[in-house]
Amino acid sequence: MLQEKDNNTETVSLSTVDNDERLLTRLGYKQELKRHFTPLELFGFSFSLIGIVPSFTSVFIYSIPNGGAFAMVWGWAVCFIFIAAITLATADLASAAPTSGGLYYWTFMFSSEKWCCFLSWIVGYSNTISNVASVAGVNWACAVQIMAAVSTGSDLAFQATISQTFGLYCALLLGQSLICSFNPRFMARLQTLFIIINVLLFCVIVIGLPVATPKAFRNDAKFALEDFTNVSGWPNGFAFIISFLTPLWSVGCYDAPVHMSEEATNASIAVPMAIILSIFSASILGWAMNISLVFCMGRNYQTIIDSPIGQPMATILFNSFGKTGTLVVWSFIILTQFSISINQMLTASRQIFALSRDGGLPLSRWVYFVDPRTRIPTHAIWFGACWSLLLGCLAFAGDNAIGAIFSLGVTGQFVSFCIPMSARFLGGKAIKPGPFRLGRLSLPITAVAVTFMTFMTIVFMFPLTPSPGTDFAGGVLILATIYFYFPKYGGIYWFIGPISTVEAPAVQVKNDAAEKEFAIGAGSLTACSRQVFAFSRDGGFPLSRWIYYVNPQTRTPSHAVWFGACLAFLLGILAFAGENTIGAVFSLFITGQYVAYSIPMAARFLGGQTVKPGPFRLGLLVSHFTPSPGVGNMNYTVAVQGGVLVLSVVYFYCPRYGGIYWFKGPVSTVEAPAIQVKDGEDEKD
């Protein structure tokens, strides 16, 4: 193998190149991207992607109402314990298998034969949407920060609208996509500059802020370290946990170096070290910055939240530095935020590239393209940018939807991490450890990480405030009622409930025996089509005779699938009616389920009929009540994250064309048979 050289960089040693390519070949891939990132530059990439000051600035708003100063200081400290566990568990896996596919590749290698394809598919999509959401989140934050600077510079005369902010957001995406399409050598060399800017900005906040803050805004130690103010509406304990979103978003780039591993030298060592050093150093610096802020932010939280500047961090800086000083500091925050956006775009594009390389995405043949001149996956960059633009449209649905973009970046990541980490110990497959290994500590550390991520994923599915709403799903209920009682043609004249399709008398659940338990699925197209099929089988729909059709070859209700898809398409047109209807599309997913569940649950105890319990039974623990919908102020993370997972499952199991028929997990791109990590075998070169 020839030694790789570059006129503008140091010569990469032959042994390092050989080792990296040999390891990648053992994992099943040929070298397609250029290895420009040295270990220091890979650390710089990860550290700059975290960008502790601008990242914290983006989500600072979630700490203030959920515990105030106490949550900022001690919430960050508590959260760091679990962040450290996630970091170490990820580094352990990254050292063993440093490939751009990362999480979904590990899932396939460690999972059992029965589930490896399906779980790898789920993780691939979850990790992809997480990275795309992160691109959207950091760019939206950058747009808001720029608008805050304009507002400050105009003495608050200018107040940006959502449309103006979205327009700037689109421009930022376009600019970053162009930059990421440049030669990667240029991007690698920029990382050292990004490190310097981030450290200098941190020093300005930690050292300059206490010096410049007027006495009126200075707090004593008792207030800064002990004041717990909760204005979120949630109980204090739960509000404190919600404040974890700030540190989890700010330093949560655990897998960023993994996705760049095929462009890094000495990857099996450089990648885990970049993960550990960048996250640990950023976590410590972030905690120090929180301490500095709580002593210099004043005591009126509401003033900070409701400031016309529109950005809590900018408000604190304005109170301390004044207009000119704030604009200078804020300009550097915007610059570092833009650098974060660039690095996040690179990370997302490499994940998209890896998944398309294995044929896991729509249009994979087009997306999986490496520019022969620059050795960059340019199509993957633009593919990710387009999806980030679409995700940014959620901003028109309101503040909760904007918050969901940030929490989606966290929850999507956590889902992606939990599965391969669990599969490592539950899948029954051996793993050959890399140079960095946790040894006997691997299992307890991974267990702590998975437990915490699972718990926080559930927490972030709750609405940001507990205020219930009442204006939901009314249109569907009203139209269904009208159709049922419609004169002459209404369902009241012909709908008689479930109709048997077998010659023997059907066993009715409410009268006799229910021999199989019924699984309640999410609102996916697959589940929807089965519901449509069942309802049309009983004649409940218009065109029921056409809908009630089972394909004799695949034994699937294909007409019901397309009928449900058409209805979903028509429902999507509601978006053109304005912000409220956009929100209604998401809310309908939850509220429709709640209404549908409430009636049969209540009827079980109020209808006077008996039910024969199945193998699983609650007995005396059965509750007679159903939960209130309470989605007037919903967290859109539920709809988006759930929707992505559901749609990915639908795509996987799509009749005839789904991934289950052709997706076999990571596809080797080398001619020689690849050594599979999941088999735990060491083959000789």
pLDDT digits (tens, 9 = 90+) for 568-595: 776 666 566 555 555 555 555 555 555 5
Exposed / middle / buried, residue 472 (Cβ in 10 Å: 0-12, 13-18, 19+): buried
**Angstrom distance (rounded) from CA 680 to CA 427:** 12
For residue 53, give both structure tokens.
């000051």
Please state the pTM of the whole predicted model.
0.65
Q: Same domain for 74 and 130? A: yes
- CATH number assigned to the domain comprising residue 453: 1.20.1740.10
The answer on pLDDT for 84 being more than 90 is: yes
Choose one of 459, 490, 514: the last residue of a domain: 459
Where is 229: in which H helix or E strand? strand 229-230
pLDDT digits (tens, 9 = 90+) for 407-453: 666 677 788 888 889 888 887 777 788 888 888 898 999 999 999 98
Least confident span in 140-149, 388-397, 551-560: 551-560
What are the counts of helices (DSSP H) followed by strands (DSSP E) for the chain? 27, 2
Distance of alpha carbon 555 from the chain centroid = 35
Q: Same domain for 98 and 225? A: yes
For residue 156, give both structure tokens.
């608050």
Q: Same domain for 87 and 190? A: yes
Among 467, 420, 415, 419, smallest CA distance to 637 is for 415
The answer on pLDDT for 554 being more than 80 is: no
Choose the most confident range, by mean pLDDT, from 56-60, 526-530, 667-671.
56-60
Q: Same domain for 445 and 502? A: no
The answer on pLDDT for 185 being more than 60 is: yes
Using only C-alpha atoms, the chain has a radius of gyration, in whole angstroms, of 27
Choose one of 632, 647, 662: the last residue of a domain: 632
Q: What is the DSSP string of 497-512?
A: S----SSSPP--TTTS
Q: Same domain for 489 and 624? A: yes
pLDDT of residue 172: 92
Where in the sequence is the domain holding 60, given as residue range(s)? Answer: 36-459
Residues with Cβ within 8 Å of 158's Cβ and at least 6 positions away in sequence, in order, are 150, 151
Greater confidence, 510 or 456? 456
Q: What is the mean pLDDT of residues 209-231?
A: 87
Residues with Cβ within 8 Å of 505's Cβ and at least 6 positions away in sequence, in order, are none
Q: What is the mean pLDDT of residues 460-469?
A: 60
pLDDT of residue 5: 35
pLDDT digits (tens, 9 = 90+) for 366-383: 888 888 887 888 899 999
267: Cα within 13 Å, side-chain hemisphere:
30
The answer on pLDDT for 51 being more than 90 is: no
Residues with Cβ within 8 Å of 120's Cβ and at least 6 positions away in sequence, in order, are 104, 105, 107, 108, 111, 663, 665, 666
pLDDT of residue 578: 56
Domain tally, the chain: 2
Q: What is the mean pLDDT of residues 323-331?
A: 86
pLDDT of residue 17: 52
- The verdict on residue 466 lying in a domain is no
Q: Same domain for 446 and 347? A: yes
Among 612, 601, 605, 600, smallest CA distance to 515 is for 612
Alpha carbon distance, N-terminus to C-terminus of the chain:
14
Q: Same domain for 195 and 316? A: yes
